[in-house]
Chain A
């Protein structure tokens, strides 16, 4: 699917990946995350698994667990200290504090996206791999995401997006897939 790709992302770089549907944006992100193995060529990611924040199309949360329980589980798996506190803080930052004890299955599309973002940023990753982060977000949600990214200015990021202008100010490079 992805062919002839030669990409080098320096630490602190913020790369926007654009392209039409099916051009391989999601595949590229999954390759970098380590979920796919390349069938040809070389891939080197200098960041270990626990320092990667991956946002997929699906929110990657359990519908029958509450927002807090989901983040608590991920906090446990990512070996975070004070994970309850951090989970709570994260939920507040994305405006989900009041819904913290509701099951994720009751969330709207926008809330699920916010919860997924909480999950992505929870462990303060060094490398962000975001697949359409603004999908489903309302104006307030988008604003919260911008603030979050602003606070993590030193992070390295690869962001697949339909709307590069929203993040144009922050980006250091663009990659257009055909």
Chain B
């Protein structure tokens, strides 16, 4: 393991701990939302990390189709798995935020939440695809192509939900980062870096585990 990946768990821990400390003790409270706004430091980094995981998964999928090297399949799958976990957390934290802010567990006016619902459905279908196809080159290629569709769906859905908001479901709240005080921004960035490191750590752990699984299976087949 390279020194980078050995250091990653520690970096994740340090960044997350530091980030949350900054968020709770140093960054000023939001004028409108008060203390409940603090969940922003959790929710948005998780959301952005989910996007990053889906993007990474799509990149690995592209590499698979490009080069045909089969190891990319496991990497793509693991990245997307990470993305779905963080996506689920996005929905949960977003839901909590919605409940605290507006008293509803779910609202169609919250664009980020709606977008993640669509993506969550999409990537859940990705897993259905994997489970119901026999393992082999066919499954790898089909999964890779579907993963590419997913990453294209992200901006397309974003646009769709945005224009839907103008007529179908009025957007209640936007936090387009209008005037973000620099303390908030710094705390946010630290949390983001921490979350990405956490995702990276989990990714490596799961990938190693899956690789060992695959090797064990091969060994068992050879010995049988």
Using CB atoms and an 8 Å cutoff, list the residues of chain A in contact with chain B. 37, 39
Contact = CB atoms under 8 A, between A and B. Distances in A.
Nearest to A36: B137
Contacts of B136: 39
B197 to A, nearest CB: 36
Interface string B117-158: 000000000000000000011000000000000000000000
Nearest to B70: A39
Contacts of B137: 37, 39
Interface in B28-74: none
A37 B64 CA distance: 14
B203 to A, nearest CB: 26
A39 B214 CA distance: 14
| Nearest 3 pairs of A and B residues by beta carbon | A37-B137, A39-B137, A39-B136
A42 B117 CA distance: 44
Contacts of A39: 136-137
Contacts of A37: 137
B142 to A, nearest CB: 14
B119 to A, nearest CB: 31
A39 B139 CA distance: 13
B133 to A, nearest CB: 15
B134 to A, nearest CB: 13
A37 B136 CA distance: 10
A1 to B, nearest CB: 12
A26 to B, nearest CB: 16
A42 B14 CA distance: 48
Nearest to A38: B137
A7 to B, nearest CB: 21
A37 B69 CA distance: 12
3 contacts: A37-B137, A39-B136, A39-B137
A84 to B, nearest CB: 36
A37 B140 CA distance: 12
B224 to A, nearest CB: 13
